[in-house]
């Protein structure tokens, strides 16, 4: 089979674009898609997983801080 046919026969959940969209939408909940994907080496899987987890942690901290600030502003208004 040619490379183009292999690409067309790839299941949608193994495509890189589907993985990127899933990671952007649901973050670390999409990591099983990464780990079941045979196209990535174990080293890449670990690296991408760590990057997603670290980014998710920092986004969680930023969200928590912004909600705390927002709550303080509402207290000042009332």
Please compute the mean of the pLDDT values over residues 41-64 and round it to a whole number.
97
Between the alpha carbon of residue 54 and those of residues 12, 29, 34, 63, 68, the distances in Å are 27, 14, 16, 14, 21
User: How high is the pLDDT of residue 4?
Assistant: 59
Nearest-angstrom CA–CA distance, 14 and 74: 46
Rounded to two decimals, the pTM is: 0.77
- Does residue 31 have a pLDDT over 80? yes
**What band does 39 get if pLDDT is binned at 50, 70 and 90?**
very high
User: How high is the pLDDT of residue 35?
Assistant: 96
Segment 1-28, tens digit of pLDDT: 566 566 568 888 899 999 999 999 999 9
């Amino acid at each position: 089979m040619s490379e183009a046919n292999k690409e067309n026969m790839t299941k949608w959940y193994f495509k890189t674009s589907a993985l990127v969209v899933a990671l952007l939408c649901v973050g670390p909940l999409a990591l099983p898609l990464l780990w079941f994907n045979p196209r990535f080496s174990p080293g890449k899987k670990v690296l991408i997983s760590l990057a997603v987890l670290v980014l998710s942690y920092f986004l969680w901290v930023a969200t928590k801080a912004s909600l705390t600030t927002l709550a303080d502003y509402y207290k000042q208004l009332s």
